[in-house]
Structure 1
Amino acid sequence: MAKIIDDETMENVCILAKLSLSEEEKEKAKAEMQKMLDYVEKLDELDTSEVEPMSHIFQDENVFREDVVTNGDNKEAMLANAPKAKEGQYQVPKTIG
């Protein structure tokens, strides 16, 4: 059963999207949304029972490098710049009473 975009639905969309549209703009947007829904409904008619699910349309693998730490743990040098340090951590003033 085809879902019809009515005036009430269009008004709710405008409220949720915080849009202020003229009547002409609402009619145009309503027609465009109806076309989208009709297209999705048409796609639902396709038999995809023999199609293997996939997570992405491309078969490419991750081409990014591994996340490898190259500068190491330089805790002592970082703490040397701290105004105060306590037990190997930055010591800051208490901000909540």
Structure 2
Amino acid sequence: MAFGLKKKELAEWKRQIDDGEIAFLTHYWLDDRFPDCKTVTKVGCSDLEKLKSWGKKYGLKEEWIHYREDGYSHFDLLGDTQMKILKAEGITQPLQ
């Protein structure tokens, strides 16, 4: 279950994706399958080759992309991987 997400933040994430940028969106999230994770970061891009290449540099596999028909395909980052990648990308406060 996602929560704590503002419409403006979602709209900005979608705009960046539409513009072909690598876009980050972190929000609070609860899922019984991942009891130690309280947030998720969605990393998307409309240019799927660019998204695959970006993910590859962090060891993310292409098959981990959540392909969406609406054009907002993305990786979901969780736990330690999420924190390592956000730090490497210079994102120190993903939740404002």
Q: Normalising by the residue count of structure 1, what TM-score does the alignment of the two structures yield?
A: 0.23
Q: Normalising by the residue count of structure 2, what TM-score does the alignment of the two structures yield?
A: 0.23
Structure that is richer in strand per residue: 2
Larger radius of gyration: 1
